Amino acid sequence: MEFWKNLYNELLKREKNNHPLDLKSCVYICELINKYKIKNILEIGTGLGFSSYFFAKNSFVEEIDTIEKNKEYFSYAQELDDTHKINYINLDLFEYRTDKKYDLIFIDGPKRNQDKILEHVSEFLSNSGLIVIDNIFLNRVKEKNNKQSKKILLHHDRFLKYLNNNSMFDVKYIDIDDGLAILKRKNMKIAVTCCNLELGINLAIKKIDNIIVGLRDFSCRFNNYFDFEEIEQLIESKQESKITVCINDIFFEESIPKLENAIKRLVALKVDCIMFHDFAVAQIVKENNFDIELHYNPETLVTSYGQFEFYLKNNIKNVSIASELTMSELKKIHENKQNMTTYIKAYGLGFVMHSRWPMVSNFREHISSETNIYSKKFNNIEYLLIKEDLRVMPNILYEDKYGTHMLTGYYICGIKKINEFKTMNVDYLLIDAFFIHDIELYTIIDKFVNANKNNLSNEELENYFNEIEKNAEHKISEGFFGSIQDRLHMLKEEKNE
């Protein structure tokens, strides 16, 4: 502390009546640099070079890029530097482009357009990086109490509301000097579908962020289903996990009273969220003014951020993004997602179609009764592997009381793209356990949780992908997360002429 105080006082002598970063704030940021072993910094607003020089004196710091639009300040700041760590950039911030990813971004510039400044610089932040905003309380501006200060405070109040409602960062306010805001990317979370109580309790012990269960007689495409008593037991054992009940059947008019009663029971059990496919669910929640979170998962229909405004207006704050979107399309959606919470299926069979018609039974009626048309079985689910003549990969086809379902004959696996998902600001990665045995599921979950917590190299993620594939019931592929060749269900065989 004594070293930093002496350095601060020495620097203060040359500040030309310009108010620098306060001492306690300087020391606090240096403590952050030590704690997180910060190596490179981007500073917005060099001023006279006080703070960049101060930070450069920290032994962890290897490089600082500092941007200043004012040419006089830009020239003066360089006269001080003897660290050989600071790159001075005379440029308007919004013209700045770089492929660098910074461990810390320090914003100490103009108090207008701070929302736009934050949006611009956030793309330069590393996955585990911090953004520090100085003068977040503007106490000195408040003391002036004149027309100009009131105008600044009006803009700043709007920025604080923007900051508090943002979906990208966790914000912590530090009450020292004129105040600091510390921003860190919100951690991407893991959601897992679950088919039995023992598995659910184990997932809660593992601190899985969201455990999604199917409700018997109201859900489809789960290995098995929960009744209300089991859901209640899971809620009692959930610890820090969120419990979501999936109601993804298609409902007809005569089944609405039964559906409404089921939703009432789930609300009474204090389920955290209902995931739905049919908008009858959302309508019932709205008409009854139920206090429960909603998650829209139509499997294939959410393909654009343009839909989000409608969902949010109707109190639908969670959506599952369609699996058949490329990484560039997913990035565009997440750049414009507003306050929507997004889910991407990062592992599981791809959804192809669901029909209420019993197609397999209808087919059976037209063939010999001695013919067994089911070629495979998973637990108690009999299914066909059915392939079009020109396709390379068969699809899974099975029938239950909800109709006929078709799924890809391979598991989509996005683990190699997990670092990109973090940067993209995806809220949840979904691991869909359908057609996966519990023992295999635990391995998949452990790989994804570890990859999510740590910044693994591409080679390490490739190894995880290969290890998952060794024990998989079916082939795995990146699907639309990868290249065209990874979309196995769309590939056609080459015909020899």
Dist CA 489 CA 497 (whole Å): 23
The pTM for the full model equals 0.75
Contact 267, 292 (CB under 8 A): yes
**Digit-coded pLDDT (tens) for 302-332:** 999 999 999 999 999 999 999 999 999 999 9
Tell whether the model's pLDDT for residue 126 goes beyond 60: yes
Q: Please report, for residues 72, 317, 367, 427, 439, the alpha-carbon distance to residue 208 in angstroms, rounded to integers and kept in the order given.
A: 53, 20, 47, 14, 16
Strand 403-413 with 381-386, pairing: unpaired
Domains identified in the chain and CATH numbers: 2-185 (3.40.50.150), 189-490 (3.20.20.70)
Q: What percentage of the chain exceeds 70 in pLDDT?
A: 93
Q: In angstroms, rounded to a whole number, what is the distance separating the alpha carbons of residues 262 and 444?
A: 32
C-alpha closest to that of 180 among 2, 11, 3, 26: 26
Q: How far apart are CA 378 and CA 411, in angstroms?
A: 15
Could you tell me how many residues make up the chain? 497
Quick one: average pLDDT of 185-193? 92
Tell me the CB-side half-sphere exposure of residue 405, using CA atoms within 13 A: 23
Cα separation, 455 vs 418, in Å, equals: 9
Strand residues in 45-161 grouped as ranges (E):
63-67, 86-89, 102-107, 125-134
- Asked if 40 and 63 count as a contact pair (C-beta separation under 8 A), the reply is yes
Structure tokens at 98: 């770089």
pLDDT reading at 52 higher than 90: no
* pLDDT above 90: residue 47: no
Residue 71 has pLDDT above 80, yes or no: yes
Q: Mind giving me the DSSP string for 201-268?
A: HHHHHTT-SEEEEEBTTT--SSSS-B-HHHHHHHHHT-TT-EEEEEE-S---GGGHHHHHHHHHHHHH
Q: Are 10 and 19 in contact (CB under 8 A)?
A: no
9-42 residue pLDDT tens: 665 555 554 556 777 888 899 999 999 999 999 9
pLDDT at residue 135 tops 60: yes
Per-residue pLDDT, 5 = 59
